[in-house]
């Protein structure tokens, strides 16, 4: 198998959409790597997993799943035999029987992390001020404003359901540790990456390196591509 034979399916996290991967997609295409996004409804973990599995089916052939933040739990729950590897971008990786909330809240949050709670309709939105303080502090003011404007809320049903045996126990995985992440603290990232036995790369980047440091994400994806192909 060649790296060019793989398609990378990029799954966005909470409070984001597929456009958060645009710089990464451009970087991959310039290097001959195919990439598409999987639009997640963020309505429940099962719904989001189904959305990724439909994307795998639509693409056809061998794929590698890339998950950012919450989407780490999603890509780890996919069961298609076409998945040859997983890439976690400062992502959550619950083990069997754990919920996303379990790993998200396993340590004390960063002092600038926002307080999260459902609104009157049951959706969890990110406060607008949190995009500059915690979600993407390294983005420009315009970039932060755009992220806030296009954010998509997440349902508590995404983060309160225990996961089954995660796929990272059966396929190779790579993990980008974002050392300046104020949403998922570095200690939690390293804990998850270690028990996954993932190949780890660490950079002093914020919670959304796909937006603020896309080259670091592209480089890790290329490492995964060549590792799987080789």
CATH superfamily membership of 3-229 = Alpha/Beta hydrolase fold, catalytic domain (3.40.50.1820)
The pLDDT score that the predictor gives to residue 3 is: 75
Question: What residues of the chain score a pLDDT lower than 70?
Answer: none
Ranges of H-type helices in 60-173 = 71-75, 100-104, 130, 141-150
Residue that the structure tokens 């290097």 belong to: 31
Structure token digits, residue 147: 């992220």
> What is the per-residue pLDDT for 189?
98
| 149/160 Cα distance (integer angstroms) | 26
In the prediction, which pLDDT does 4 show? 78
The pLDDT of residue 132 is 98
Provide the edge-to-edge strand list for the sheet that holds 83-89: 34-38, 7-11, 63-68, 83-89, 173-178, 199-203
Residue 142 CB neighbour total at 10 angstroms: 8
Q: What is the reported pLDDT for 137?
A: 98
The closest alpha carbon to 176, from 92, 110, 82, belongs to 92
Q: How many residues does the chain have?
A: 230
Residue in 95, 86, 72, 92 with CA at minimum distance from that of residue 185: 92
Tell me how far apart the alpha carbons of residues 214 and 193 are, in angstroms, rounded to a whole number: 20
What's the pLDDT at 199?
A: 98
**Bridge partners of 201?**
176
């Amino acid at each position: 198998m060649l790296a060019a034979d793989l398609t990378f399916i990029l799954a966005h996290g909470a409070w984001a959409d597929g456009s958060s991967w645009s710089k990464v997609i451009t970087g991959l295409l310039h290097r001959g790597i195919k990439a598409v996004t999987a639009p997640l409804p963020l309505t429940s973990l099962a719904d989001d997993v189904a959305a990724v599995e439909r994307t795998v089916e639509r693409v056809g052939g061998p794929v590698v799943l890339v998950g950012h933040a919450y989407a780490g739990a999603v890509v780890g729950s996919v069961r298609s035999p076409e998945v040859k590897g997983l890439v976690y971008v400062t992502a959550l990786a619950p083990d069997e029987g754990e919920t996303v909330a379990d790993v998200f809240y396993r340590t004390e949050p960063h002092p600038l992390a926002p307080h999260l709670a459902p609104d009157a309709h049951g959706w969890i939105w990110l406060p607008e001020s949190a995009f500059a303080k915690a979600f993407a502090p390294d983005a420009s003011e315009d970039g932060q404003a755009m992220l806030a404007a296009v954010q998509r809320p997440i349902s508590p049903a995404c983060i309160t359901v225990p996961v089954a045996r995660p796929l990272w126990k059966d396929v190779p995985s790579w993990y980008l540790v974002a050392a300046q992440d104020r949403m998922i603290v570095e200690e939690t990232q390293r804990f998850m990456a270690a028990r996954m036995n993932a190949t780890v790369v660490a950079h002093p980047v914020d919670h959304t390196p796909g937006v603020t440091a896309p080259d670091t994400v592209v480089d890790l994806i290329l490492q995964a591509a060549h590792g799987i192909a080789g």
